[in-house]
Amino acid sequence: MKTVLEEHINEVNTGKMERPLEATRMENNTSSCFLMERKTHIKINRKEVMLAKLRKSCSCTPQKLKNFLMDFFPVLRWLPKYRIKEYIWGDVMSGLVIGIILVPQAIAYSLLAGLKPIYSLYTSFFANIIYFLMGTSRHVSVGIFSLISLMVGQVVDRELLLAGFDLNDDVPPASGDGSLQNDNLSNTTAFNLTTVGINAECGKECYAIGIATALTFMAGVYQVLMGIFRLGFVSMYLSESVLDGFATGASLTILTAQVKYLIGIKIPRSQGHGMLVITWINIFRNISQANLCDVITSAICIMVLVTAKELGDRYKHKLKFPLPTELVVIVVATLVSHYGKLNEVYASSVSGAIPTGFIPPKVPEFNLMLRVALDALPLAIVSFVFTVSLSEMFAKKYAYTIQANQEMFAVGFCNIIPSFFHSFATSAALAKTLVKTSTGCQTQISGVISAMVVLLVLLFLAPLFYSLQKCVLACIIIVSLRGALRKFRDVPARYHVNKVDTLVWVVTMSASALVSTEIGLLVGIVFSMLCIIARTQRPRTALLGQIQGTSFYEDDFEYENLSTVPKVKIFRFEAPLYYANRNYFLKSLYRLTNLDPNLEAARRKKYEKKEKQHLKKGNHRTANGLGIGETTLQLVPKQIDFQALVVDCSSISFLDTTGVNTLKEILKDYKNLNISVLLACCNPSVIDSLKRGGYFGKDFGCMQEMLFYSIHNAVLFAKDQKLPADCSV
């Protein structure tokens, strides 16, 4: 067997074999060496593959066109297979319930977006129709979402200020006929906005929706481009902690923005960083001007809404569908406001005229797109991430699959197409999706039903909400934030599970609330990535001991009754070894083994120099009082209690050039002290990096005595043998 082994090794050394062989010692018999033959992987000509894919994609056949249409409009696949008797009742019920919920929420969220309620209704209508055609999830509800509305509203407010409009105009609501021609009356001053992209006189409301549609169009374009280039992986950088922290911080901002409507005071609308703090300062300064009618109305509405929500949550298993509390509150509040003349008598702020019908479509202004192009990027990412996350969650729950790339196209066109029809950005919303599933939703037919309910309001019922108080809408928004604000209760449990994730949540939440939502999202992503880098920069390191009576080894710091291996140190590094953690790797190794080879080498040189000086002076006794023959004993310090170092590479996923050089460095440094360095449990990619870096020598001649498939094999080898003298780097 030895002869065969030697022949194989010679072939490896001389390079005569075509396929690479890796020699390593295995099992308990240290005299046996097995050669592991690596598979030959055929190198792929990427240029030819890309050309082939390009030719295939450019070719057009009837079948390929059909498949493209089926993929782009998934409704063509599942609608012909629709089981009417089995699905229709659940879809109709969930569609009606969601439609009823959508109407008050759409009107309320218009406050967040800084737009008239009619535009929120347009958004809800078009988003449901388009997602029905293009979406792959059966259950998510796409439409108005509070966080997206807030992000749109912040951009709209900023651009209105820059254009010279007064954000605090509170013009009494026009008592017009509800037609769409009264739109420009919302601001009595008309501005010539040629310099910012609109080549005609345009009022405040006209300019606000122009900004919103340009922002929405750009967000949709980004999402479609991300789908074309398959950049859905971007969502992976938004961890659960980042998303939860962002949602909670944005919820605090939303809550703060609604307080002035809640108590009926008129304060400047803060913009820029620190909006939350500035707004609360202004609220307390003007608290004496609170409208008593709005305060009483808000208190009653919040009490009713919260009580109904809590009862609904407690008895949701007994209820066939959720109580339409928001709609009931809006209807009752509108009737009380109308017949009690709350606007005229108590100066309570009301919604005003909501026109019926549709505004003729209009192309978003190109110059405005350039102004909001940067703002549209975080909006596009947040919208896509929330939609895909919810889609995957409910697809897993109900045992079907979604196509993430198609979801990106779907939500992209839910923004692009409606932007021509005076709508703003949309996303999937968790609360409405939960309601859909709880009311028996089976397919996106329910979305069409919801769109029909909104259409009914758009065409006939919108003027009936004229007397609806804004404080009632603010109450609906605030109560809808319960889920996000309850995340504060989960902080102790989150901290117990993972302290780093909790820190990411706190930082993201604080930045989103105290600075701005966009900055908060960016801070959360960057901080989360820095935490990952920090974990790899300063990973866990350990010296291992042997579990008694076994061939297994574990962390000596964590477990009791582990046996130390005489003359052998076993070091584990639980991270990739690369340029950022090289110094930490060396410091940990030197600290745990209680030996820095560089310092020891310097100490030895100093000692040898001192001994030579004594010899030149004719003193045959050393500084320590020993004879010349005894001097060599002093060259081995007492603190070196091992002759072999085993590095457990099982947790090292990859090595870069710095990592390979670091291992070569310790191999050389320890060899100078007559200490062997053995590597155990290396994965193939690490072995390849070591071979390319010349760790095993030019011909890999010493590879079989430096590389082991288990720690135990390395320990047995270290006990019985030493590295050959010619095994050097």
The DSSP annotation for 331-350 comes to: HHHHHHHHHTTHHHHH---B
Beta strands 562-563; 541-547: pairing state: antiparallel
Asked if 458 and 570 sit in the same domain, the reply is no
Domain end (from 533, 552, 579): 533
Domain that holds residue 344: 76-167+203-356+369-533
Question: Residue 635 carries which side chain, given as an amino acid letter?
Answer: L
The whole-number pLDDT of residue 243 equals 86
Asked if 711 and 690 sit in the same domain, the reply is yes
d(CA 267, CA 446): 41
Q: How many CA atoms lie within 13 A of 74 on its CB side?
A: 20
**Cα dihedral sign, 27-30-32-36:** positive
Q: What is the secondary structure of 607-638 as a DSSP string?
A: HHHHHHHHHHTT--B-TTS-BHHHHGGGGS-T
pLDDT greater than 50 at residue 185: no
Asked if 87 and 155 sit in the same domain, the reply is yes
d(CA 75, CA 324): 29
pLDDT category of residue 172 using cuts at 50, 70 and 90: very low
pLDDT category of residue 650 using cuts at 50, 70 and 90: very high
Asked if 252 and 374 sit in the same domain, the reply is yes
Q: How many CA atoms lie within 13 A of 213 on its CB side?
A: 23
Q: Which residues are CB-neighbours of 538 under 8 A, at least 6 positions away?
A: 581, 584
Q: Which two tokens stand for residue 520?
A: 């908060």
d(CA 581, CA 128): 50
Domain end (from 533, 554, 584): 533
Domain assignment of residue 442, yes or no? yes
d(CA 411, CA 312): 31
pTM (two decimals): 0.77
Domain assignment of residue 712, yes or no? yes
Three-class SS state of 145: coil
| Angle value at C-alpha 725, between 724 and 728, nearest 5 degrees | 95
pLDDT category of residue 648 using cuts at 50, 70 and 90: very high
Asked if 482 and 551 sit in the same domain, the reply is no
Angle between helices 292-314 and 470-480 in degrees, nearest 10: 30
Domain assignment of residue 3, yes or no? no
Asked if 477 and 426 sit in the same domain, the reply is yes
Domain assignment of residue 619, yes or no? no
Asked if 515 and 601 sit in the same domain, the reply is no
The whole-number pLDDT of residue 320 equals 65
Asked if 515 and 562 sit in the same domain, the reply is no
Question: Residue 678 carries which side chain, given as an amino acid letter?
Answer: L
Number of domains in the chain: 2
Domain assignment of residue 193, yes or no? no
Cβ proximity of 277 and 449 under 8 Å: no
Asked if 413 and 282 sit in the same domain, the reply is yes
The whole-number pLDDT of residue 33 equals 57
Domain assignment of residue 178, yes or no? no
pLDDT category of residue 9 using cuts at 50, 70 and 90: very low
Q: What is the mean pLDDT of residues 209-223?
A: 96
d(CA 214, CA 227): 20
The whole-number pLDDT of residue 322 equals 66
Choose among 430, 355, 335, 432: nearest CA to 121.
Answer: 355
CB atoms < 10 A from the CB of 36, how many?
A: 13
Q: Which two tokens stand for residue 611?
A: 């001994």
pLDDT tens-place string over residues 84-114: 988 998 899 889 888 888 888 888 888 888 8
- 298 compared with 704, residue with greater pLDDT: 298
Looking up residue 591, the CATH number of its domain turns out to be: 3.30.750.24
What HEC string does 241-270 produce? HHHHHHHHHHHHHHHHHHHHHHHCCCCCCC
Asked if 500 and 557 sit in the same domain, the reply is no
Angle between helices 62-72 and 404-419 in degrees, nearest 10: 70
Domain assignment of residue 9, yes or no? no
d(CA 622, CA 613): 10
Domain assignment of residue 271, yes or no? yes
% residues pLDDT > 70 (the chain): 85
d(CA 667, CA 377): 49
The DSSP symbol for 362 reads -
Choose among 595, 482, 471, 576: nearest CA to 533.
Answer: 576
d(CA 394, CA 389): 9
Choose among 508, 577, 512: nearest CA to 539.
Answer: 577
Domain end (from 533, 555, 586): 533
Asked if 437 and 561 sit in the same domain, the reply is no
pLDDT category of residue 275 using cuts at 50, 70 and 90: confident
Compute the mean pLDDT over every residue in the chain, rounded to the nearest whole number: 83
Asked if 465 and 443 sit in the same domain, the reply is yes
